Each structure stands twice: as structure tokens, then as C-alpha cells.
């Protein structure tokens, strides 16, 4: 589920933290990195849990309205379509999701005011009105409205603040993980039930995801182990800049790129350069992308002329770099 670009960004953050701190215990750095990747599942599960609680809140609200001393006609004969939503019921009944929520001690009952506001605002949405007006619904209809609800919840600022209060480390990853959670929901089909496996953002049941995390962990380790050597390579190619005046983030990106060039034979050079330029756009200054691209081109040419770049596999060599 996690893209390699996202994993590279997490490696970059760990490398930057290492560069500006006194921490030099590689085993601790590596352990913290893998722990932080795995705990992204905690954030994803907590995000999805809001759907289950919202559905439960809606069901309880209808029951309370029916129990009034003098309910309105609408309250006495409510439209039950949303609370009978098959997709929401499947999420609520799913054993693995419930087990994960219990393990994380997720409890939204103290935030009923927020869920009441979410409920009232969501009922004004055209998507909700159109769904409730359908004569009959399919599983896809039921899933579509729950996905629309998830987007509504994840963009509700007051609830986002609660997530960050719960765990400060979630702030940087909240919206990216929300996108991953959304993708998980979109992929669930009508076979999803109480007994189904619930997909995770980082799922160790998937060999490809284990391989991707191993790549990221090795990239982190090998970059740290080659810091001094990579510093010399960068200094040698900084013709118009002083090394100590270059942004730390740019230096870290360059060091990570050099490590990919020489230590990961299956990754095309073009992929490495494109990824690092994108990271510079996301994490460094406005001018960094041009600087990174220019310096990496020089470093790449130097390393290739020295025979230090040896890529393996079809389609890995790109003559445009010569």
C-alpha cells in the first residue's frame, strides 16, 4: 500500500533528524524508523473507526428521535436507508477492525458534539440527500455514500485537531494516510464481511510491502554508513557553492541519491533523480529543485565515468543522462 515515494520521504525525514541531532546509534535509528512505519496502521485504523462511530451515532440519533414524547412525522417514521447501509454494517461487524480498535482503545464517546455537527452537516450534502431518495440501493451505492462520508470526516478540522492531540506524530502524515485509508475503502467489495481480513496501510501479510520496507530501511542504513564518502563527492561537485552554505535538507537529499546510485542496482538512475527532485519540492526551498537536479546530473556523470554505477535488469539504463 505504501508507495516508495512515501517511504523515501520517511527515510529523508529520519536522515534529516540524524543530521541535526547528536544521535549516532544506527540500530536505534533503524528501529525507530521501522516502528514509525508500522504505527501508520494505528492512524489508518483510527481514521476508519470514525465511520463506524458515525454510523452508530446516526442510528442512536434516530432511535432517540423516535422515542420523543411528541415526535414529528419524520421522526416517528424515519428513513432508515443510511443505518441499513450494508457497507457500514460490514465495517462495524468486521472482526479484525473491531479487534484493532479495541487494541488501540479507540473511544469517540467523549466527542459526541463533534459527531453531532458532522451528522447534521453531512445530512445537508447533495450526495446524502440523493442517496436517501433512492428507491433501492446496491452495494456500490452504499459504499459510495460511506466514501463520501469519509472524505467529509477527514476534512473536518475540529476532528483532525483531536487526532493530532491524540498523537503529535500523526500531524505530518494525517492527510497522506487518509488517502491510503480511502484507497483501502474503495477496494473493498461486496464480499467484504465480518470474517474478512481488513487491509492495512503497511501489511506484513504482503511480501511486496515487506520488500518495499526493506528497501527503505537499507536506504536509511547505507546512507548513514556512507555519509563521509558522500560528503566528499558532493564537495567535489559544488563548483559555485560553499558546502556549509547549502541547505541541510538539500545535502541530505543528495546523499540519499548517491546511495541509491551506487548501492541499489535494480533502481534506474532516472527514477532516483526524479524522486529526489520531487522530495526537494516537498521538503526544501523553492530553488532547491533546480539545484538538486543540476548537482545530481554532475554527480551521476562522475560516478558513471568511474564505473561506480552498475545497474542490472532491462530498461535500467537511460542514455539521456550521458
Q: Which residue has the cell 512515501?
A: 6
Q: How many helices (H) and strands (E) does the chain have?
A: 16, 0
Q: What percent of the chain has pLDDT over 90?
A: 82
Same domain, 163 and 215: no
CATH of the domain at 248: 1.10.940.10
What's the pLDDT tens digit per position in 267-312? 999 999 999 999 999 999 888 999 999 999 999 999 999 999 988 7
Same domain, 58 and 163: yes
**Residue 298 CA: distances (Å) to CA of 20, 77, 239, 273, 314:** 26, 73, 10, 12, 24
Same domain, 43 and 118: yes
Same domain, 141 and 54: yes
pLDDT for 41: 96
Same domain, 50 and 171: yes
- Rounded-to-integer distance, Cα 229 and Cα 239, Å: 18
Same domain, 179 and 43: yes
Same domain, 9 and 94: no
- Rounded-to-integer distance, Cα 106 and Cα 42, Å: 10
Final residue of a structural domain among 187, 214, 238: 187
What's the pLDDT tens digit per position in 71-87? 777 767 778 999 999 99
Average confidence (pLDDT) over 216-221: 97
**Residue 31 maps to a domain:** no
Contact present, 280 and 296 (Cβ < 8 Å): no
What's the pLDDT tens digit per position in 77-124? 778 999 999 999 999 999 999 999 999 999 999 999 999 999 999 999
Same domain, 178 and 211: no
pLDDT for 313: 58
Within 13 Å and on the Cβ side, how many CA atoms surround 254? 32
Same domain, 55 and 176: yes
pLDDT for 117: 96
Taking 90 as the threshold, does the pLDDT of residue 68 lie above it? no
pLDDT for 168: 86
**Residue 151 maps to a domain:** yes
Q: Please give the mean pLDDT across all residues of the chain.
A: 92
**Residue 281 maps to a domain:** yes
Kindly report the length of the chain: 322
Give the CA diameter of the chain: 86
Same domain, 140 and 175: yes
- Rounded-to-integer distance, Cα 84 and Cα 64, Å: 17
Taking 60 as the threshold, does the pLDDT of residue 322 lie above it? no
DSSP state letters, 234-287: HHHH-SSS-GGGS-HHHHHHHHHHHHHHHH-TTS-HHHHHHHHHHHHHHHS-TT
Taking 90 as the threshold, does the pLDDT of residue 230 lie above it? yes
Average confidence (pLDDT) over 166-176: 92
Contact present, 92 and 55 (Cβ < 8 Å): yes
**Residue 56 maps to a domain:** yes
Taking 90 as the threshold, does the pLDDT of residue 69 lie above it? no
Domain count of the fold of the chain: 2
Final residue of a structural domain among 187, 218, 239: 187
DSSP state of 21: S
- Rounded-to-integer distance, Cα 212 and Cα 1, Å: 10
Same domain, 12 and 59: no
Average confidence (pLDDT) over 132-142: 95
**Residue 244 maps to a domain:** yes
| Domain, as residue range, for 110 | 39-187
Same domain, 242 and 171: no
**Residue 30 maps to a domain:** no
- Rounded-to-integer distance, Cα 184 and Cα 189, Å: 10
**Residue 59 maps to a domain:** yes
123 contacts: CB under 8 Å, gap ≥ 6: 129
**Residue 80 maps to a domain:** yes
Final residue of a structural domain among 187, 217, 245: 187
Amino acid at each position: 500500500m505504501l508507495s516508495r515515494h512515501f517511504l523515501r520521504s520517511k527515510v529523508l525525514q529520519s536522515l534529516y533528524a540524524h543530521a541535526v541531532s547528536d544521535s549516532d546509534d544506527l540500530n536505534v535509528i533503524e528501529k525507530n524508523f521501522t516502528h514509525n512505519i508500522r504505527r501508520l496502521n494505528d492512524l489508518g485504523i483510527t481514521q476508519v473507526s470514525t465511520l463506524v462511530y458515525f454510523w452508530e451515532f446516526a442510528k442512536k440519533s434516530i432511535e432517540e428521535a423516535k422515542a420523543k414524547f411528541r415526535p414529528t412525522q419524520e421522526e416517528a417514521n424515519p428513513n432508515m436507508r443510511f443505518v441499513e447501509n450494508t457497507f457500514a454494517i460490514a465495517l462495524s461487524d468486521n472482526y479484525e477492525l473491531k479487534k484493532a480498535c479495541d487494541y488501540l482503545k479507540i473511544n469517540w464517546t467523549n466527542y459526541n458534539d463533534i459527531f453531532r455537527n458532522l451528522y447534521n452537516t453531512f445530512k445537508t450534502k447533495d450526495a446524502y440527500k440523493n442517496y436517501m431518495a433512492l428507491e433501492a440501493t446496491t452495494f456500490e451505492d452504499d459504499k459510495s455514500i460511506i466514501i463520501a462520508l469519509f472524505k467529509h470526516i477527514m476534512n473536518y478540522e475540529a476532528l483532525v485537531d483531536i487526532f493530532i492531540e491524540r498523537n503529535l506524530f500523526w500531524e505530518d502524515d494525517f492527510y497522506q494516510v487518509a488517502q491510503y485509508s480511502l484507497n483501502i475503502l474503495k477496494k473493498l467489495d461486496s464480499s467484504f464481511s465480518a470474517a474478512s481480513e481488513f487491509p492495512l496501510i503497511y501489511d506484513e501479510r504482503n511480501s511486496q510491502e515487506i520488500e518495499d520496507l526493506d528497501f527503505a530501511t537499507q536506504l536509511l542504513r547505507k546512507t548513514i554508513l556512507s555519509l563521509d564518502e558522500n560528503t566528499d563527492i558532493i564537495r567535489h561537485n559544488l563548483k559555485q557553492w560553499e558546502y556549509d552554505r547549502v541547505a541541510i535538507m538539500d545535502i541530505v537529499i543528495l546523499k540519499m541519491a548517491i546511495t541509491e546510485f551506487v548501492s541499489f542496482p535494480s533502481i534506474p538512475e532516472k527514477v532516483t533523480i526524479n524522486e529526489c527532485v520531487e522530495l526537494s519540492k516537498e521538503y526544501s526551498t523553492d530553488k532547491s529543485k533546480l539545484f538538486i537536479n543540476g548537482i545530481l546530473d554532475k554527480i551521476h556523470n562522475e560516478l558513471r565515468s568511474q564505473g561506480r554505477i552498475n545497474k542490472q535488469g532491462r530498461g535500467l539504463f537511460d542514455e539521456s543522462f550521458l
